[in-house]
Amino acid sequence: MADGTHWIAGEAVSGGETFANAPVTGAAGHFPKGKPALVDQAVQAAEAAFAVFAATTRSERAALLDAIADEIEARGAALTAMSMAESGLPEARLVGERGRTTGQLRLFARHIEAGDYLDRRHDPALPDRAPLPRPDLKMIQRPVGPVGVFGASNFPLAFSVAGGDTASALAAGCPVVVKGHPAHPGTSAIVAEAISAAVLAKGLPGGVFSMVQDGGVEVGKALVTHPLIQAVGFTGSLRGGRALFDLCAGREVPIPFYGELGSINPMFLLPAAVAARGPAIGAGWAGSLTMGAGQFCTNPGVSVVIDGPEADALVAATVEALGGVSAQVMLTDGIADAFRAGAATMQKMADVVAGTPCDGRQVTPWLLQVSGAEWLANPALAHEVFGPLGIVVKVKDEAEMAAVAAALEGQLTCTLHLDAADHPLAATLLPHLERKAGRVLVNGYPTGVEVADAMVHGGPYPASTNFGATSVGTMAIRRWLRAVCYQNMPDDLLPLDLQ
């Protein structure tokens, strides 16, 4: 893959101006830059393929998803080697992530075969009803059309070219055009080859899937503003996601933008739990905070605890556990630089409890501390710093803890650490937390998002741009569907799933 490729409607496309990746090990590869003209070519092919793909049976689309999983697994060794070089992530993590990627493809396949996601409804005609007859009404969910997807930086497999956005859109019957992420173009090209091979092996039009390598802001803009693109999926920063969201909303015909934009994922550590096992909670927090160099959208960046000796013991245990964490490689030099800048900004507003400077692509964890009053008075403390940085918020009492919960912005997750004696306080906090987050956990850590029917990976803005949607789990398919009602439609003209 030294020269890289785009994959446009089943064909490898290279040539023209190139850019280099930045591997942690080995020589850099060179990859063709994406261009708006390539985006247009891919989207036109997707539109041409839509009618055929939308008319496929659920079994046919399930077979495609299974075939994509098979093709990815067949390229497992090459994918792991390329991903390790580009991302700096360890082999075990990437092997696990590949399993998650193929697993969610197969989960979506089984889900659409069952058919429940179609939400089919039928109100039979009542021709003799008075004073007016009722027509025959049938409703079903139908695919929206070609979908644009942006690969994410922190999961080069599970949230990128064949990630949940692509898998769920294909499951829904929507052709997909992916903009590859510049952090892992080699990985993206291998996965795009795998998807394209599966599409063609199943006899489907090549336009069902395309991937254009990164080419800067203009390529992303061309994708979200193309008049044939009907919805967009994105996982990334608040700044980048908001810019794309505004472009989608500003189109002559606005379209949905399903952006997952990050979160600080606060944990509320309740008094009885802290008294019983505070040091264990602190050590567990340190492990979750530094997992993958803190590069998870569910990284628990804040812990809220009532001030006192038990809180001090918890903080001491967290510091001790963080002291055993060596410098970690971040996904890109830019992400490492942004982490250091964010940590420096936070250190001007909060007390440093632990942390040491680090240069280059490596970073070390930081732990900071503020009072509840300081937290509530300074909204800037709640800004996400992507990486292993945690803030302890020491509140004076239960009322101030509830005030912190009420003041939160939208989150992907909120966590309660509690024992039985904490249930009354938890009941006070829950009405706030369930309004703020898509997932509320008890006695756990939010890193690790199960791909399952009941999972919600989304939340109120700014965690995501559509609070009723999820980018993980089978409900993700619903983002790429819309309800259509058929009135008095002859049976042979209905979609197959309504006949």
Which residues does the annotation mark as catalytic?
A: 260, 297
**Helix/strand/coil (H, E, C) string of the chain?**
CCCCCEEECCEEECCCCEEECCCCCCCCCEEECCCHHHHHHHHHHHHHHHHHHHCCCHHHHHHHHHHHHHHHHHCHHHHHHHHHHHHCCCHHHHHHHHHHHHHHHHHHHHHHHHCHHHCCEEECCECCCCCCCECCEEEEEEECCCEEEECCCCCCCCCCCCCHHHHHHHHHCCCEEEECCCCCHHHHHHHHHHHHHHHHHCCCCHHHEEEECCCCHHHHHHHHHCCCCCEEEEECCHHHHHHHHHHHHHCCCCCCEEEECCCCCCEEECHHHHHHHHHHHHHHHHHHHHHHHHCCCCCCCEEEEECCHHHHHHHHHHHHHHHCCCCEECCCHHHHHHHHHHHHHHHCCCEEEECCCCCCCEECCEEEEEEHHHHHHCHHHHCCCCCCEEEEEEECCHHHHHHHHHHCCCEEEEEEECCHHHHHHHHHHHHHHHHHEEEEEECCCCCCCCCCCCCCCCCCCCCECCCCCCCCCHHHHHHHEEEEEEECCCHHHCCHHHC
